[in-house]
Chains A and B, each alone.
Chain A
Amino acid sequence: MNAPAPMPVIAAALELRAVRKSFGVTEIIRGVDLAITKGERHAVIGPNGAGKSTLFNLISGRFGVSTGAILLNGGDLAGLKPFEINRKGLARSFQITNIFANLSVFENIRCAVLYPLGYKYSFWKALSTLKDANLRADEILELIGLKKRRDVKAGLLTYAEQRALEIGITIAGGAEVILLDEPTAGMSRSESDQAVELIRKVTVGKTLVMVEHDMSVVFSLADRISVLVYGEVIATDVPEKIRGNAAVQEAYLGTSLAEGAH
């Protein structure tokens, strides 16, 4: 397995400080502290309803935090909208496939590279002349293995292909910090093995935070794991130590983590 990542001394790529989030009177996230080093692959696991997706929604700016702070490369994200956070170098994928169904696979990816390449809202440039955008989109297609499906409508892809496209859109902009929300959800074993390879490939040199239920995926990808239970992180450690952690075992009601838990 990977060597334990050193604890951050300087500013972490992503840092959560006493983050809390309430919806009405219900507190979903109850004081989460987390520091993720640059280049680290970090998995967030936990039983259903633990608040994993909410945590992602807070980080990516879909919701604002109730109290506490989230820092990206040392900069506070408070009050920033999703697109502003994205421009600062954080991209996310979604648990439920979230693509542009009526656009071709290629167009899906190209849309995701336009803003970072500086084309923004321009309506005086023809897309076909944007060599760098087209080249980059084709590179991403190659990387995610959808080159053959380049001109197919995204809505017509198979489920596994749509999940790969989902990851492709997320990484296409070249963000340094990538959040993946259950990237292998609903996949067969062989599909999720491929997905793991894909994630490994596309996140080289980047910081990855992922929510995942499939424990084999988690243990094969993650440098460190955080266990979220009822809105609190009960443990953050390297995979081997998480596996033996008594509190974690209890949270999963005695199921063996190695076999996967839901």
Chain B
Amino acid sequence: MAQGAQKIVFRPLNLARCIIWSGFALLLLVLPLFFNKGFALTLMCQIGTIMIFSLSFNMLLGQSGMLSLGHAVYSGLGAYFAIHMLNLIGKGWLFPVSLLPLVGGLAGALFGVLFGYVTTKKSGTPFAMITLGIGELVFAMSLMFPEFFGGEGGVSSNRIAGEPLFGFITFGPQIQVYYLVAVWLFICTAAMYAFTHTPLGRIANAVRDNPERVEFIGYETQRVRYLVLIISGFFAGIAGGLGAINFEIVSSENVSAIRSGTVLLFTFIGGVPFFFGPMIGAVIFGFFIVVLATITKAWLLYLGLFFVMMVMYCPGGIATLIMMQFPIVKAGRFREIFPSYCLAVAAGLTLLAALVFAVEMIYHLSLEAAAGTTKAFFGYDVEVASATPWLGVALLSGIGAVLFVAARRGISTHWDRIMGDIIRSQTA
């Protein structure tokens, strides 16, 4: 009985997996058809690179319970090795530019072997502290040895080097870099996903849940952490190598604590408990760092607020928020809770509008006072010094608050009722 039942259960799962992966490949393939402007292409290249980086980071945090505060060390050093290799190719070395990320990956893994030996001796908070220390050490070194790290200016290069791939791919046009990133992203995502279904990948989960017990089923937890860190360093290095090709410059910023903190931030926002969470985080990264930063000076404030809200109200990240809906959708009852969600979105947007108006006006008054008290909002000139816009902000906040209370009540009643029914039907 069990045999037959299992087959029925497993087949659609595999089918779903096939659909998801071919959908992912197709998406990567056709995205440039819709976003073919230079800016959009660069943005997508950057997001793809960060996806690999944050997935590698989550191998440690989400899958093995290791909070690394210095993960940029592996991507950054990988990037340095890749860009030096790129320069060597420019000098006539025979090596395809398309395989440069592999150089970065090997460098990342090598430094994983080196630094990981020290950091993975400990777990938990001591591990986090040591990785922070190693990160600072490497950053300091990057300024001390300009021969390799290029000092403050970094190392720059030209990616149009060596023989063109298939005779015409020079990686000069951004679209070619995009497809290089896309191919590497697909391979790395598939490889890292496969890793989660191997003995080491599973034991890493066990180490995350209960390191003590792992020692009593024959595994040395330190060895598990060490191996995972090396593999994670490998993929981080690949991301670094891709970044080097994309930007044609690598500087000490690539190994800095800021970079390490950024990957932690966006991986967390995306969702640590799920494999694909960091990929969502990378897209949000693109939005904040690349898009929002060009629109407003206050983007860091928005990012900070967003992050704090996520940590407080949704510590599982956006991926968890999505996955939580699955049982409801599966039970065919999403329609019941959907109006409340719409209300919540309306409340969120109203409150966001109030926040944005207030913040932008304050920024305008404090930072751009010399430019007068008139600020342009979506083509309209707003007189910041008058009371009217502030009353508008107050009104929006009030409406938003009322909507928020109503939405929260609606969601919680519907949620409790539907989940209660689902649980009852399961146990019955």
Which residues from chain A sit less than 8 Å from chain B, CB to CB? 60, 81-83, 86-87, 91-92, 94, 98-103, 107, 110-112, 114-116, 119-128, 130, 147, 169, 172-173
Contact = CB atoms under 8 A, between A and B. Distances in A.
Kindly name the residue among B194, B205, B206, B224 whose own CB sees the greatest number of chain A CB atoms within 10 A: B206
Nearest to B201: A123
A92 B218 CA distance: 11
Contacts of B195: 123
A115 B205 CA distance: 15
Contacts of A124: 198
Contact of B224 (A60, A107, A121): A121
A115 B219 contact: yes
Contact of B215 (A82, A101, A103, A111): A82
Nearest to A130: B199
Nearest to A169: B217
B212 A98 contact: yes
B197 A126 contact: yes
B210 A83 contact: no
Contacts of A128: 197
B152 interface: no
B203 A114 contact: yes
Give me the 4 closest cross-chain CB pairs, A-B, nearest first.
A115-B218, A123-B200, A100-B209, A82-B215
Interface in B176-221: 194-195, 197-203, 205-206, 208-210, 212-220
B209 A103 contact: yes
Contacts of B209: 100-103
26 contacts: A83-B214, A83-B216, A86-B217, A94-B213, A98-B212, A98-B213, A100-B210, A100-B213, A101-B210, A102-B205, A103-B205, A107-B202, A111-B214, A114-B202, A115-B218, A115-B219, A116-B218, A121-B200, A121-B203, A121-B219, A122-B198, A123-B200, A126-B197, A127-B197, A127-B198, A173-B217
B229 interface: no
Contacts of B214: 83, 111
Interface of B: 2, 194-195, 197-203, 205-206, 208-210, 212-220, 223-224, 227, 231
Contact of B217 (A101, A111, A126): A111
Given A101-B209, A123-B231, A83 B199 contact: no
Contacts, number: 94
Given A86-B216, A127-B201, 12 more contacts: A103-B206, A103-B209, A110-B202, A111-B206, A116-B218, A121-B219, A123-B227, A126-B198, A127-B198, A127-B199, A127-B202, A169-B217
Nearest to A138: B2
Contact of B199 (A81, A82, A102, A114): A114
Nearest to A88: B218
Interface centre among A91, A92, A115 (most CB of B within 10 A): A115
Given A121-B223, A123-B199, A130-B199, A83 B205 contact: no
B364 to A, nearest CB: 48
A173 B200 contact: no
A122 B194 CA distance: 12
A100 to B, nearest CB: 4
A121 B200 CA distance: 5
Given A114-B199, A114-B202, A126 B215 contact: no
Nearest to B209: A100
Nearest to A126: B197
B220 A81 contact: yes
B210 A123 contact: no
Contacts of A82: 215-216
Given A122-B200, A123-B200, A123-B231, A91 B216 contact: yes
Contacts of A122: 198-200
A173 B218 contact: yes
B213 A99 contact: yes
Contacts of A107: 202, 205
A79 to B, nearest CB: 15
A121 B208 CA distance: 15
Given A100-B209, A121-B223, A92 B216 contact: yes
A126 B223 contact: no
Which of A99, A114, A119, A169: most chain B Cβ within 10 A?
A: A114
A60 B216 contact: yes
A115 B218 CA distance: 6
A111 B203 contact: yes
B205 A100 contact: yes
**In the complex, which of the residues A83, A124, A169 has the most CB atoms of chain B within 10 Å of its own CB atom?**
A83
B68 to A, nearest CB: 19
A107 B216 CA distance: 16
Contact of A112 (B194, B201, B217): B217
B217 A115 contact: yes
Contacts of B199: 114, 119-123, 125, 127, 130
Nearest to B191: A123
A115 B214 CA distance: 11
Contacts of A60: 216
A93 B77 CA distance: 44
Nearest to B213: A98
Nearest to B223: A121
A216 B203 CA distance: 37
Contacts of A102: 205, 208-209
Contacts of A91: 216-217
A103 B215 CA distance: 17
Contacts of A100: 205-206, 209-210, 213
Contacts of B217: 83, 86, 91, 111-112, 115, 169, 172-173
